[in-house]
Homo-oligomer: A and B are copies of this chain.
């Protein structure tokens, strides 16, 4: 059933936070930054996303395919647009379907962009405005394609944590890696309790994929 697919009904675009996380709740290892994007040991978080396992490939493909627009923070933008960042083989579903528009939350837009082949929007008026801009883009793309596309918050961790605490996240998609990083960037730092409802759980060789609705 497609809840937004009937005639006259609005498209059903959800705000999904999608991120890989360790058992100790970290989305990077210690000392993340340029040249060490996921922090020390943090590459273990993404083993599943770079594996050849067909089920893990399917999950990457489906996440990419449902992305009507992607929101990211400025630090993450600097990493992916930096010299060690995305290229033709490593990127947001670079080897998969589609190239969604990207919305970057930043205090001041960069002077130039390396990845000019992608569709970048820089929002300087805060996270809610960035999510609203991404929602517009995702809804327009949904209408064009005739199927529901989502807004995906890809990170970093602080952006997703802030969005969660601001009540902007409708669905939390966690890829739980079998690793304790010891320290790093925690996903949940806001001190705010949240009750969630698990909608699916899917164990693949390198992670456990958990989809929660945020109440």
Contacts and interface: CB of A to CB of B under 8 A. Distances in A.
A182 B178 contact: no
Interface string A169-197: 00010101011111100111011111111
Contact of A187 (B24, B44, B186): B24
B182 A193 contact: yes
Given A203-B198, A203-B201, A192 B208 contact: no
A83 to B, nearest CB: 27
Contacts of A44: 195
A43 B137 CA distance: 41
Interface size class of A (residues with CB under 8 A): 20 to 34
Contact of A25 (B25, B164, B174, B208): B25
B25 A212 contact: no
Contacts of A195: 44, 178-179
* Identical subunits present: 2
Contact of A191 (B179, B183, B191, B193): B183
Interface in A149-172: 164, 172
A19 to B, nearest CB: 12
Interface in A21-53: 23-25, 29, 41, 44
A210 interface: yes
Contacts of A190: 182
The 10 closest A-B pairs by CB, nearest first: A24-B188, A201-B203, A25-B25, A180-B194, A182-B193, A178-B196, A182-B191, A178-B198, A182-B192, A201-B208
Contacts of A208: 198, 201, 208, 210
